[in-house]
């Protein structure tokens, strides 16, 4: 049995983002403290993983003593220091059988120890029941049985306290409350609900030209989506996998980070309308290759190739794939190869929106796809969403109607689910709630037949928002709870965060602002812990708007300053524009009208580059509002005229109402 120790610094990535030099100095000091206690207790460090340390020990009590010594020293050190100089770590302890190779340890028990560390409280020590049974009497409290990510059997976890003072200051109720606030999933028993297999599909190596990167992304997404259609296979989301793009060579570390027993490495060569895909699956428990294959196919065969890979891997895992799912996997796409490739590229550009030209280029690709095949429902649906993102709602609706017509003629349940879901998303955006619910219901009907529980939960999640916008809180909460149960069952923490964020949006729409803030507060720590900074920023911005509605301008300003810190992690001009717009509202609320004008002009410039008519209309209405308060009446009419120009084809009742109020205000004040 190997005795294992995992630790990491709480909030280290944020420390680096704030002041990298200072963070590195703290890391050096951290390493000195941990190395000393590990060495003094006859432990050895297996490896440093950024701010984390993975170590092994010779006996249980030495491991416990080292952990207690580390936390005691850091506690004393931190007591006299300001927050930005504190070093707060989490520690996880476990023992089990592992595989040793090239100075590293790996296997399911290593993954388990890593997961135990992730549920330790800041400044605390968490350990498995098997480890706890082998140490001397110590101050501790049980968590209960904890469902750890991608670990089928719930584990009995204990918190070990460093001294009597810490123990007495933390009642059982306090501990459970803290664990709940950190999204630790405590269950009643250690019964295995589903004995599933876990596999991570790594981002494919692109063997072709750089401009074929989109195909690597879409192929990976297809594989992950298809694997999650099989009841007893779990795969980390594409957002989790992308984080490992820069260090895909350390498979042991990836296995620990995402807690999977198997890892699939991929390479893809896409040339013209054809591609070659290579896949190799390695068992991290046995350090052996359990599946290898290569495929040469047309671009439009991406779905059948992905399906064949998943069926083959399921066979190796001895996991059953239903006949109905096999039929879906084998279904051929009767679309021109060139058109299908253009569709994939256009959809990728719209989904990712990496720069100001993404939506323009997406539109061009999708239009070309439709020119080649004018009965291509997915291309029409994706073009509809692209037009929607551009604020061109009339064209969006026209393309989505065409998508529905051609999808219904095709009678392919996956295509129908895809198109109906997109239609539901669009009509939700333009606040045609009746139509949105109708299409979400149709999408759900077909998704149930497909059996993709992930996507079904997403559809429930989408439709819940509609009921919230209608003011039907009971139906909204019912659907949200369904989706959240699925995310918890599937260990999909990132989507659980999305669900909390969606509830925050819904409560905002219903004008239940306190509930909205509460939901956003639940979403933020999840997005931070999963390093989903884009989603984290989105929540910060929307929550800041709620604070503005409550005249809590300091809280709104704090959120926006936090969002600004993370914008360097991704190039997304739309987000920058939204931050500037929200800053303008904060300055306006504080009476700083000149600053508000500056932020509005900054936001207008960004959205003009994006040609986003809806945002531009809102911005010019708000600019007119500022100018009225500043008594600069000559410029007000020009702003209102620009707003009207951008609103011509939008059919947005909210904008219309806002414009009328501003015009009336102008008439009364000039």
Instruction: Split the chain (670 residues) into runs of 10 and give each run's mean pLDDT.
Output: 95 81 95 97 93 95 96 96 92 94 87 93 95 90 90 92 94 89 80 81 94 94 92 86 76 86 95 95 92 96 95 96 90 89 94 80 96 96 94 94 95 92 95 95 93 87 86 86 82 82 84 92 82 86 96 96 81 90 96 95 93 92 93 90 88 87 87
Helix (H, G, I), strand (E, B) or coil at 280: strand
Residue intervals of the chain classified under CATH 3.40.50.10610 are 197-330
pLDDT, residue 354, reads 66
pLDDT, residue 180, reads 79
Dihedral of the CA atoms 317, 319, 324, 325 (nearest 10)? Answer: -40
Which neighbouring-strand residues pair with 5?
Answer: 55, 93
pTM: 0.74
Burial class (CB in 10 A: 0-12, 13-18, 19+), 565: middle
pLDDT, residue 356, reads 67
Through-space distance between the first and last CA atoms of the chain, rounded to whole angstroms: 82
197-330: in CATH 3.40.50.10610: yes
Residue intervals of the chain classified under CATH 3.30.70.1230 are 2-187
pLDDT, residue 529, reads 67
What is the DSSP-derived secondary structure letter of residue 152?
A: S
pLDDT, residue 246, reads 66
Query: Domain 2-187 belongs to what topology?
Result: Alpha-Beta Plaits (3.30.70)
CB of 216 closer than 8 Å to CB of 201: no
pLDDT, residue 227, reads 93
Burial class (CB in 10 A: 0-12, 13-18, 19+), 32: exposed
Mutual angle of helices 573-589 and 593-610, in 10-degree steps: 160
**Count of CA atoms in the C-beta half-sphere (13 A) of 432:** 16
pLDDT, residue 531, reads 66
**Backbone φ and ψ of 591, nearest 5°:** 85, 10
């Amino acid at each position: 049995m190997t005795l294992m120790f995992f630790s990491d610094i709480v909030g280290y990535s944020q420390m680096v983002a704030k002041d990298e030099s200072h963070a590195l100095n703290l890391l050096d000091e951290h390493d000195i403290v941990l190395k000393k206690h590990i060495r003094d207790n006859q432990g050895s460090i297996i490896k440093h993983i950024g701010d984390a340390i993975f170590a092994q020990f010779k006996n249980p009590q030495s491991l416990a003593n080292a952990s207690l010594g580390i936390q005691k020293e850091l506690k004393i050190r931190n007591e006299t220091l300001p927050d930005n100089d504190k070093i707060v770590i989490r520690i996880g302890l476990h023992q089990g059988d592992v595989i040793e190779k090239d100075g590293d340890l790996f296997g399911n028990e290593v993954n388990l120890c890593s997961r135990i560390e992730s549920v330790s409280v800041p400044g605390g020590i968490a350990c498995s029941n098997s480890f706890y049974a082998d140490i001397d009497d110590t101050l501790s409290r049980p968590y209960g049985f904890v469902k750890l990510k991608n670990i089928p059997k719930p584990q009995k976890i204990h918190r070990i306290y460093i001294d009597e003072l810490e123990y007495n200051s933390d009642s059982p109720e306090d501990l459970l409350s803290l664990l709940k606030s950190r999204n630790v999933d405590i269950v009643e028993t250690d019964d295995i609900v589903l004995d599933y297999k876990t596999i991570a599909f790594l981002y494919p190596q692109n063997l072709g030209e750089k401009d074929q990167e989109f195909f690597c992304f879409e192929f990976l997404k297809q594989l992950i989506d298809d694997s999650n259609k099989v009841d007893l296979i779990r795969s980390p989301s594409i957002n989790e996998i992308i984080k490992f793009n820069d260090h895909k060579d350390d498979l042991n570390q990836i296995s620990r980070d995402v807690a999977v027993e198997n890892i699939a490495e991929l390479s893809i060569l896409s040339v013209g309308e054809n591609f070659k895909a290579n896949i190799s699956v390695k068992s991290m428990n046995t350090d052996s290759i359990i599946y290898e294959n290569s495929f040469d196919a047309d671009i439009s065969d991406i779905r059948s190739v992905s399906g064949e890979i998943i069926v083959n891997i399921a066979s190796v895992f001895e996991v059953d794939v239903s006949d109905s799912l096999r039929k879906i996997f084998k279904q051929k796409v009767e679309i021109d190869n060139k058109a299908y490739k253009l569709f994939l590229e256009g959809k990728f550009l719209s989904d990712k929106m990496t720069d100001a030209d993404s939506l323009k280029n997406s539109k061009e690709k999708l239009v070309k796809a439709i020119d080649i095949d004018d009965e291509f429902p997915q291309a029409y649906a994706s073009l509809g969403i692209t037009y929607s993102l551009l604020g061109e709602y009339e064209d969006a609706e026209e393309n989505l109607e065409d998508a529905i017509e051609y999808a219904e003629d095709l009678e392919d349940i996956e295509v129908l689910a895809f198109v109906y879901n997109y239609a539901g998303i669009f009509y939700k955006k333009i606040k045609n709630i009746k139509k949105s619910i109708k299409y979400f219901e149709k999408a759900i009907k077909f998704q149930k037949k497909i059996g993709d529980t992930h996507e079904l939960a997403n559809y429930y999640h989408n439709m819940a928002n509609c009921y919230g916008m209608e003011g039907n809180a009971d139906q909204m909460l019912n659907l949200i709870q369904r989706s959240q149960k699925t995310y918890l069952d599937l260990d999909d923490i990132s989507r659980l965060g999305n669900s909390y964020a969606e509830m925050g949006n819904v409560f905002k729409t219903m004008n239940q602002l306190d509930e909205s803030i509460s939901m956003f507060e639940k979403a933020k720590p999840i997005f931070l812990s999963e390093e989903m900074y884009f989603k984290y920023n989105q929540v910060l911005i929307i929550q800041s708007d709620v604070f503005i509605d409550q005249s809590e301008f300091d809280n709104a300003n704090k959120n926006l300053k936090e969002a600004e810190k993370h914008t360097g992690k991704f190039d997304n001009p739309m987000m920058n524009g939204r931050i500037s717009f929200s800053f303008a509202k904060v300055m306006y609320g504080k009476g700083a009208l000149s600053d508000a004008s500056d932020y509005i002009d900054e936001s207008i410039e960004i959205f003009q580059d994006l040609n986003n008519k809806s945002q531009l209309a809102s911005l010019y209405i708000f600019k007119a509002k500022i100018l009225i308060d500043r008594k600069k009446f000559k410029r007000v009419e020009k702003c209102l005229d620009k707003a009207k120009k951008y609103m011509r084809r939008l059919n947005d009742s909210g904008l219309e109402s806002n414009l009328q109020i501003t015009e009336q205000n102008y008439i009364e004040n000039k």
